[in-house]
Amino acid sequence: MTAADRADMPACMAYKAFIAGCSGPDLTEDERAFLRDQRPCGLILFARNCVSRDQVKNLTESARACCGDEMLVLVDQEGGRVQRMGPPEWRAYPPARAFARLYAQNEEEGLRAAHLVTRLMAEDLYELGIDTDCAPVLDVPVAGAHEIIGDRSYGDDAETIIALGRIVAESLLESGVLPVIKHVPGHGRARVDSHKELPVIDAPLEELESVDFKPFAALADMPLAMTAHVVLRAFDEEAPATVSPFIMQEVIRRQIGFKGLIMSDDLNMSALSGEPEDRAKAVLGAGCDVVLHCSGVYADMVRVADAVPMLSDEGQTRFQAARDRLQEPAPYDRDEALQMCEKVSRSGSEQRKS
């Protein structure tokens, strides 16, 4: 963080109700000015932003120099297919499903593995100034669903997903990193990829309540959640959950009981329609606290930023409550974690070969 960066820090640290991306490994001058002027409440990183440890640390420090230390820095670091920070600079981590296989053989060992490997993965984030991990995935996949969830899920049944999802979320918190449970109220039945088109789910209300919603209700005490861009016809015939006031208020807030800060999934996904600013307004109008815009395309970020207000009073309270959950990392057995990571990864490789 340079002296010039510190001098440019805004006097007021109030934040707008959106999370932005950036275009590359270093902030451009336009992006620095954008962060100073617009003050998004978070910055989300992707593989295009993560080249080396020193570079990522400099990026997070530069962003906070522009926007204030309270700003969240997020990344999707699940392991497996969704790992924005990967080899050769960072180790490859096993997917969620690998822990489910171990859990099926030995529940205690499965939970221990999930705990230790999450601690190891979170250590990578913490040392770079990344304080929020968009994990765990709590979706319950069903037969015939699109593979977009697949091995990102911690099992095929709600109970296993609850057990492993809980240990992963709590292990992130122990590591000084906030978890984001996703994709509420459930993406596991989607038969198409919401990045490309809008999934429509026809499952009856009773089935959704007894299966899909169950992991989210069990982890409703977590600080942050991300929505699913899916239509649940049992509740809303047309609008995806992200932009459905009924689903946001009656299902997610009341029935599931989630009290933390809710962010949308990426505004750029084809499951949503309309111009970027219209999508942002619809998301906030439905009851999300924060919109998520991931592309890093500067012109689109400006349109979104101009369309969204500062965090609402409730949103600010939830944002601060999430930040209050951050702590210094607790001690853990790093040597055992490295051994367990290797064991789970090796087991997963053998499973795929067979």
- For the question of residue 187 being annotated catalytic, the response is no
Cβ atoms of residues 201 and 233 within 8 Å: yes
- d(CA 124, CA 126) in angstroms, rounded, equals 6
| DSSP character at residue 242 | G
Tokens of residue 58, six digits: 């400099």
- d(CA 239, CA 50) in angstroms, rounded, equals 35
Instruction: Kindly report each contact of residues 27-33 with a partner whose C-beta sits within 8 Å and lies 24 or more positions away, as own/partner.
Output: 27/59, 27/62, 27/63, 27/66, 28/298, 30/298, 31/298, 32/8, 32/62, 32/66
**Of 30, 37, 195, 306, catalytic:** 195
**Of 76, 265, 266, 289, catalytic:** 265
Return the sign of the alpha-carbon dihedral for residues 187, 272, 86, 50.
negative
Angle at 290 between CA 288 and CA 291, to 5 degrees: 100
Q: What is the DSSP string of 143-207?
A: TT--TTTGGGSS-SSHHHHHHHHHHHHHHHHHTT-EEEEEEET--TT-SS-TTTS--EE---HHH
Tokens of residue 286, six digits: 């439905």
Closest CA to 141 of 101, 183, 105: 183
CB-based burial, 72-86: b 16+ in 10 Å, e otherwise: bbbbbbbbbebbbbe
- For the question of residue 195 being annotated catalytic, the response is yes
Instruction: Enumerate the active-site residues.
Output: 195, 265
